[in-house]
Amino acid sequence: MEHYDTRGTPEAFARSVSAFHLLTATLSGPAAGEWTHGELEEHLQEAGRALMRQLLQDHLDLRAIREEEHLAARPGLRVTGPDGRPRPWREKEHERWLSTVFGHVRVRRIAHRGPGVSNVHPSDVLLSLPAGRHSAGLRRLAVVEAVRGSFDQALAAVERQCGPVVGKRRLEELVTEAAADVDGFYWASIPLPCSREMPLVIQADGKGVVMRPEALREATRRKAAQAAAAGRRGRLAPGEKPNRKRMATIACVFDTRPASRRPHDVIGPPEGRSANRTRRPRPKAENKWLTASLVKTPEEVIAEAFDQAQARDRHHLRDWIVLVDGARHQLDVIQAEAAHRGVTIHVLIDFVHVTEYVWAAAHAFHKPGSREAEAFTADRLTAILAGHAARVADELLALADQAHLTASPREAVITCHRYLTGHLDQLHYDTALEAGWPIATGAIEGACRHLIADRLDITGARWGLAGAEAVLKLRAVTSNGDLDTYWTFHIAREHERLYPNPDQATFRLTA
As a dihedral over the C-alpha atoms of residue 446, residue 449, residue 454, residue 457, rounded to 10 degrees, the angle is: 170
Q: Which residues pair with 255 in a beta bridge?
A: 200, 286
Q: Where are the domains of the chain?
A: 195-449
Give the per-residue pLDDT at 219. 83
Alpha-carbon dihedral sign for residues 49, 55, 58, 63: negative
Is residue 245 classed as helix, strand or coil in its secondary structure?
Answer: strand
Three-state SS sequence of 113-167 = ECCCCCCECHHHHHHCCCCCCECHHHHHHHHHHHCCCCHHHHHHHHHHHHCCCCC
Contact between 289 and 252 (Cβ < 8 Å): yes
Task: Give dist(CA 374, CA 378) in Å, integer.
Answer: 6
Give the per-residue pLDDT at 4. 44
Give the per-residue pLDDT at 75. 81
- Burial class from Cβ neighbours inside 10 Å (0-12, 13-18, 19+) for residue 319 reads buried
CA distances 198 to 263, 321, 347, 496, Å, are 21, 11, 17, 39
Task: Give dist(CA 51, CA 235) in Å, integer.
Answer: 59
CA distances 234 to 211, 228, 240, 303, Å, are 22, 13, 13, 42
Please name which of 466, 465, 490, 467 lies closest in space to residue 477, comparing C-alpha atoms.
490
Q: What is the pLDDT of residues 426-452, one digit of tens each?
A: 999 999 999 999 999 989 999 999 999
Is residue 10 classed as helix, strand or coil in its secondary structure?
Answer: helix
Q: Which long-range contacts (CB under 8 A, 24 or more apart) does 212-215 make?
A: 212/462, 212/463, 212/464, 213/244, 214/464, 215/246, 215/463, 215/464, 215/465, 215/468
Please name which of 291, 256, 282 lies closest in space to residue 447, comparing C-alpha atoms.
291
Give the per-residue pLDDT at 232. 60
Contact between 113 and 119 (Cβ < 8 Å): yes
Give the per-residue pLDDT at 237. 59
Task: Give dist(CA 349, CA 419) in Å, integer.
Answer: 11
Give the per-residue pLDDT at 510. 39
Q: What is the pLDDT of residues 109-139, one digit of tens each?
A: 999 998 989 898 999 999 999 999 999 999 9
Residues 6 or more apart whose Cβ sits within 8 Å of residue 200:
194, 253, 254, 255, 256, 309, 312, 313, 318, 319, 320, 321
Q: What is the pLDDT along the chain (511 residues), one digit of tens a residue?
A: 444 444 446 688 999 999 999 999 999 999 999 999 999 999 999 999 999 999 999 999 999 999 999 888 888 888 888 888 888 888 998 999 999 999 999 999 999 998 989 898 999 999 999 999 999 999 999 999 999 999 999 999 999 999 999 999 999 999 999 999 999 999 998 888 888 899 999 999 999 999 998 988 888 888 877 777 776 655 665 655 677 899 999 999 999 999 999 998 898 777 666 666 778 888 999 999 999 999 999 999 999 999 999 999 999 999 999 999 888 889 999 999 999 999 999 999 999 999 999 999 999 999 998 999 999 999 999 999 999 999 999 999 999 999 888 999 999 999 999 999 999 999 999 999 999 999 999 899 999 999 999 999 988 889 999 999 999 999 999 999 999 999 999 999 999 999 886 555 454 433 3
Contact between 68 and 496 (Cβ < 8 Å): no
Task: Give dist(CA 508, CA 15) in Å, integer.
Answer: 35
Three-state SS sequence of 104-119 = EEEEEEEEEECCCCCC
Q: Tell me which DSSP letter residue 32 carries.
A: G
Give the per-residue pLDDT at 278. 77
Alpha helices in 281-406 (DSSP H): 298-312, 328-341, 351-365, 371-385, 389-403
